[in-house]
Amino acid sequence: MKYSGIGGQAVLEGIMMKNRDEYATAVRKPDGEIVIQKETYMSMTEKVKFFSLPFVRGIFSFADSMILGMKTLTWSAGFFEDDEGDEEPGRFEKFLIDKFGEKLESAVMTAVMIFSVFMAIGIFMVLPLLIAGVFRRFIASETVMAFLEGCIRIGIFIAYIKVISRMDDIKRTFMYHGSEHKCINCLEHGLILNVENVKKSSKEHKRCGTSFLLIVMVISILIFMVVRVDTIWLRIASRIILIPVIAGVSYEVLRLAGRSNSKIMDLISRPGMWMQGLTTKEPDDSMIEVAIAAVEQVFDWKTYLEENFPETYPKGYFKAQEKTA
């Protein structure tokens, strides 16, 4: 496997692919047409040098992913809204339009992101602590308690994924998620980017966000085995305050795993790859076509293959193929 540097995420009936400062979102509309939006996005780690430091960059890379993800998801959802555009806006909608004007969409997106972060902290950080606390009267060891809390956290995450995966839209999003991984794996294993090669590539990838979340949960177990406080309020505070530390360490582990072919890193990556079985599904050909369209907008895969797999694709290989075609 040769590192390509491209990454992406699934959106509603489509894929966003990012390479350096460029990203493209490809969506298949209800009429079957593939529409593509290509833009640039400078990450926080590029804007501020301090944000790019090891163990710091993970926090801001995660924030970048949320911002870009929400932006592209909102754009893709616009193609599938109900025909309500002609209806008169309600009193509350008029108030928001008057208050924010053209910035309304941005304001709503920010509010949704903040709400999502608070909900995630409550469900995946605080709730496991409270549930584990029920067993504190029976368990004296803080190490065992930290392990139990971590297991409960992982269990809640798995249950959450299982529940939402029953929704039709989420099922299809997981299929697009699979097509995103398959495209990247296809290229990073030296195969020409076409539907046939993408189909036979793996739908699991080391750099997936699902793997990151599992690493976060495992790292949190190790950290909370060391961090010990007496009262429930201090325990809750420690879970919230240490989130940036946990995210920073987890990002470095994921980053190293995604760039390494060593057996040790493969072993560390394996649980995350298994977990991706919950969030990635086998896509159909039409979904793969959308993913390929997104990749080709931001990534010169032919040059990449010639530079990284010269034994198979010597320099000028694809130009020669075009001339003989």
DSSP 94-118: HHHHHHHGGGHHHHHHHHHHHHHHH
Instruction: Summarize pLDDT for 133-168 with one digit per residue, the tens.
Output: 999 989 989 999 999 999 999 999 999 999 999 999
What does the pLDDT read at residue 197?
98
Helix axes 243-259, 263-279, angle to 10 degrees: 110
Retrieve residue 291's tokens. Answer: 């993913």
> Given this model, what pLDDT does residue 243 score?
94
Using CA of residue 244, residue 250, residue 256, residue 258, what is the dihedral sign?
negative
Q: Which of 89-103, 121-135, 161-175 has the lowest mean pLDDT?
A: 89-103
pLDDT of res. 106? 72
DSSP 8-class letter at 89: P
237, 240, 242, 245: CA torsion to nearest 10: -170
Would the CA dihedral through 265, 207, 58, 231 be positive or negative?
negative
Question: How does pLDDT run across 273-286, given as a tens digit for each residue?
Answer: 999 999 999 999 99
**Percent over 70 (pLDDT), the chain:** 92
Q: Residue 47's Cα: distance from chain center in Å?
A: 21
Q: What is the mean predicted confidence (pLDDT) over 291-320?
A: 96
What's the whole-number mean pLDDT along residues 9-18? Answer: 96
87: confidence class by pLDDT, cuts 50, 70, 90: low
E-assigned strand segments in the chain: 7-11, 14-19, 22-28, 34-40
